[in-house]
């Protein structure tokens, strides 16, 4: 079975705090891809990052960083020095090579960054 779990339903932080959004996945495939998407209050779904199963290098993009660990089947997302504009729902998704084109979605984590 394939599954994505985002255990944190809602997180509330104060501006400038660091925050980590957890994503744990399950798949039996050895080749798979992980994605993070952002859905701000305006409603659109914005692609943030992709990671391949054979590339465990972590990635940093400005205040955003992603920690991919196959040993714990996790692909966590950290926002450093959070800002009000980071307030959104964040989704983690999984695509396995054996699952055609379907994305398996987590239920999302709603992040509120308060001034």
Partner 1 sequence: DAGVIQSPRHEVTEMGQEVTLRCKPISGHDYLFWYRQTMMRGLELLIYFNNNVPIDDSGMPEDRFSAKMPNASFSTLKIQPSEPRDSAVYFCASSLRQLNQPQHFGDGTRLSIL
Strands 109-114 and 10-14 turn out to be: parallel
3-state secondary structure 24-93: EEECCCCCEEEEEEEECCCCCCEEEEEEECCCCCCEEECCEEEEEEHHHCEEEEEECCCCHHHCEEEEEE
**Is 7 one of the binding residues for partner 1 (CB under 8 A)?**
no
Stretch that binds partner 1, among 16-24, 71-79, 80-88, 94-102 (CB under 8 A): 94-102
**Is 45 one of the binding residues for partner 1 (CB under 8 A)?**
yes
**Is 97 one of the binding residues for partner 1 (CB under 8 A)?**
yes
**Is 115 one of the binding residues for partner 1 (CB under 8 A)?**
no
Which residue lies nearer to partner 1 by CB, 61 or 115?
61
Which residue lies nearer to partner 1 by CB, 14 or 97?
97
Residues that bind partner 1 (CB under 8 A): 31, 33, 35, 37, 43-47, 50, 52, 91, 95, 97, 100-103, 105, 107-108
């Amino acid at each position: 079975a394939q599954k994505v779990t985002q255990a944190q339903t809602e997180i509330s932080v104060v501006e400038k705090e660091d925050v980590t959004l957890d994503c744990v996945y399950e798949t039996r495939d050895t080749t798979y891809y992980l994605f993070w998407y952002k859905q701000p209050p305006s409603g659109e779904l914005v692609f943030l990052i992709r990671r391949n199963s054979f590339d465990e290098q972590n990635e940093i993009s400005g205040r955003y960083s992603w920690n991919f660990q196959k040993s714990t089947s996790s692909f966590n997302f950290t926002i450093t020095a959070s800002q009000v504009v980071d307030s959104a729902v964040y989704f983690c998704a999984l695509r396995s090579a054996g699952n055609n084109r379907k994305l398996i979605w987590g239920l999302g984590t709603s992040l509120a960054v308060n001034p």
